[in-house]
Chain A
Amino acid sequence: MSQKTPGRSLAAKRRRPTRRGVLAAGVGAAAAAALPLQTASAAVDWQPKFFTPEQGAVLQVVCDLILPKTSTPSATEAGVHEYIDEALSVAEADEQLAFLGGLAWLDDRARGSSFVALADAEQVSLLEEISDERSPTAETRTGAAFFSDLKERVLFGYYTSKTGRQVLGKPEGVRREKLKGC
């Protein structure tokens, strides 16, 4: 399979609207409405089934760090965090533990703060440490394994969602008369 890289600077990835305050403080709908992202209401209203509200907040941030809102919707706008919550709720115990361990690793690395309370750039650089663009070190091994698991779940959850299928040009109800061929 392809090993192509995007070939763009990391700086491009840092451009992302903030919603950190909402996630950290759980502010109300009025403040959320002022934010550029649609995820705010989900962040406030969402009651995770498997995760604690705090874990759910970290999950939403990392989902949108991987697939932020661009010309197409973000991961949380596509409900990826809800899919991951559902999938983890019925997963084997070791799978659950590994995932929770990954979320905890992020908070742990926030050094006295919590991951969601970090500035955007700090969140990005922490994720870069465990990204598949780097070889894991002894220190980042747990985080790197989590990143890889998380990324797979985010991509699968995104592109199997209603929103993701629309992004792919596969909206509901479209059928074809003929195949195009070559």
Chain B
Amino acid sequence: MTTKVYDAIVVGSGATGGWSAKVMTEAGMEVLMLEAGEPFDESKDYREHTLPHDLPLRGRPDPRNELLQRRPVQTYCYACTEINADFFIDDIDNPYTTAPGKPFNWIQGNKVGGRSLMWARQSYRMSDYDFKAASRDGYGMDWPISYSQLEPYYDRVEEYIGVSGKREGLDVLPDGKFLPPMPFSCGEQKLADTLKDQFGVPMTIGRTAVLTESRKGRLACHYCGPCHYGCRTRSYFNSPQTTLKDCEATGRFTLVPNAMVEKVTTDAENLADGVTYFDKTTDERHEVRAKVVVLCASTLASTRILLNSADGGLANDSDVLGRYVMDHIYATGVGGRLPERDGVRPQNANRPNGVYVPRFQNLADPKTHNKDYLRGYGYQGGEGLTAWEHALYLKGFGAAFKDAIPDGNTARLSLGGFGEILPRADNRVVLDDEVVDKWGVPVLRMQCTLGPNELAMVDDMLQRGAEFLEAAGVKDIQVADEPAPMGSGIHEVGTARMGDDPKTSYLNEFQQSHEINNLFVMDGASYVSIGCVNPTLTMMSLALRSTEYLVEAAKRGDLA
């Protein structure tokens, strides 16, 4: 029996893998998709309408829950709870190590769809402030593409996934093809007016991959709240309910779950000829063959596969692989009470979206220049109204106490910074010399920290944020000044960066290996710099652009 040779193998079924496989299968190619996670079943796995009293401890951590006990890292993420812990990877079976003094949170998916099942859905375009950042301030490397080259792909991805948002006409945050925006609450409107009038800083409603109008078998959001538990009305974008369905419809798509890829294999001519993987249900090792290999396993998982594929890493003459890890500065910000909104009962409590203040530092206008740091940050936040939690701060007990609760609601405005982390060669991941996973495969060792540019940015983020809130009438302002360990933003990117020069980059502008023509890395590993906006929309747009190039190159015979 001869081994079947697929036209392409796609490793990973998340946001980027779904796009790549969709483009290839619709172009007539036969695609094998390998996913390390479990199968996904919409009817069983989605539990968004679970209510607190459906759970024995009403959603508080339950020591009897083994899924949670096995996820000491994953539970760092707000979205990983008793309801959906199985969406997140088992930390015990899938370890990684960190260098001393360099903590790292690696949050990973555990089902078909990967992290697209529980992502935060914020969808912003990068601009040439990001793609050409090095030309502007001299640090690092430009991307090999400009905004105008990616713009048509952003358009197509947004139209397909559905992004609600408001057009603002800003250079730093290009507008997209938006569905109707969600509204501000009154406290947010006050903040937006204050920022505009007193500081000349725009604020907009979050741009989010949640439908505000029904389309093609997906219903408009019904505002039940916790998208990260799933959505049976398919109102937010994820791959299993969209791109993967398109793949299946072609009849040219084979999806294998529980398939954890070990390495990319190469032939005598140093072309990729397939991958090896472990079936996580049987622990058996398998080999599969294809004419093209596309890694979409997520930035660090793809990097681990490449590092395990050859001594020193496959196709790594540049020594770039595993270096330049970036994420967003995360968990620093400001918040406080907005007394004028006291007593207001929640109206928009289940809006699955916040507000966005786009980067307003180090732009073309000299007034925005900052001498303490390069690049910049945006704020994500909004107004929160207590439902009953204010009762914890009301004194006393009894009937009068109870009667005061319904009118005691308090409002809080908060702004959390998302700051650009600069690419640094020594922020890297390597293979651990000693530790292997359950299947005997060497694990990653993370060696990443924030640098002086990031810390200077945090100071400004807090100072400006407090000024903004104070001007809007916010009292008792509290500051979160401790940035989370790298990885915590769950925007890790950059370990196989693109570039025109094979000496300083791993991939070309089409996310294709400089050294192996039929090897592509179409996830966040390809990032050159991270900017300060959430990365998934850009990742999907890049994967669409690169896969269309791949299809044409394959037709011409250029990948053999």
Which residues of chain A have a CB within 8 Å of any CB of chain B? Answer: 1-10, 12-16, 65-68, 70, 72, 83, 86-87, 90, 124, 127, 131-133, 151-152, 155-162, 164-165, 168-170, 172, 175-177, 179-182
Contact = CB atoms under 8 A, between A and B. Distances in A.
22 contacts: A1-B393, A2-B410, A5-B394, A6-B404, A7-B404, A8-B400, A8-B404, A13-B397, A14-B398, A16-B399, A65-B397, A67-B401, A67-B402, A68-B399, A90-B63, A132-B395, A151-B392, A155-B391, A160-B59, A164-B388, A176-B222, A182-B185
B408 A165 contact: no
B391 to A, nearest CB: 5
Given A1-B410, A90-B64, A162-B53, A12 B392 contact: no
Contacts of B347: 179-181
Contact of A6 (B60, B389, B390, B401): B401
B403 A13 contact: no
Contacts of A181: 183-185, 347-348
A12 B399 contact: yes
Q: Which of B188, B396, B404 has the most CB of A within 10 A?
A: B396
B153 to A, nearest CB: 30
A14 B397 CA distance: 10
A147 to B, nearest CB: 8
A182 B186 contact: yes
Contacts of B396: 5-6, 13, 131-133
Given A13-B400, A132-B395, A182-B185, A172 B51 contact: yes
A90 B62 contact: yes
B251 interface: no
A16 to B, nearest CB: 7
B169 interface: no
Nearest to A79: B53
Nearest to A158: B388
B57 A2 contact: no
Interface string B324-349: 00000000000001000010010110
Closest 7 CB pairs of A and B: A181-B183, A13-B398, A160-B52, A8-B400, A6-B404, A182-B186, A175-B222
Contacts of A70: 399, 402-403
A10 to B, nearest CB: 8
B221 to A, nearest CB: 9
Contacts of A151: 392, 397
Given A72-B402, A168-B387, A182-B183, A161 B53 contact: yes
Contacts of B186: 182
Given A83-B58, A160-B59, A175-B224, A4 B394 contact: yes
B348 A6 contact: no
B223 A176 contact: yes
Contacts of A127: 397
Contacts of B60: 87, 156
Given A4-B408, A181-B184, A152 B222 contact: no
From A6, A10, A152, A156, name the one whose CB has the most chain B CB atoms within 10 angstroms. Answer: A6
B369 interface: no
Given A16-B399, A132-B396, A179 B62 contact: no
Given A5-B395, A66-B398, A168-B387, A176 B350 contact: yes
B366 interface: no
Interface centre among B56, B57, B189, B348, by most chain A C-beta atoms within 10 angstroms, is B57
Interface string B181-222: 011111011000000000000000000000000000000001
B277 to A, nearest CB: 39
A161 B52 CA distance: 7
B117 to A, nearest CB: 21
Contacts of B389: 1
Nearest to B342: A2
Contact of A180 (B51, B56, B63, B348): B348
A68 B403 CA distance: 10
B183 A179 contact: yes
Interface string B61-80: 01110000000000000000
Contacts of A6: 394-396, 400-401, 403-404
B351 interface: yes
Contact of B395 (A14, A72, A83, A131): A131
B166 to A, nearest CB: 12
Contacts of A68: 398-399, 402
B392 A152 contact: yes
Contacts of B52: 160-161, 165
Contacts of B350: 176
B394 A86 contact: no
Nearest to B63: A90
Given A87-B57, A179-B348, A65 B388 contact: no
Nearest to B478: A1
Nearest to B348: A179
Contacts of B59: 160
A72 B286 CA distance: 62
A171 to B, nearest CB: 10
Contacts of B403: 6, 8, 70
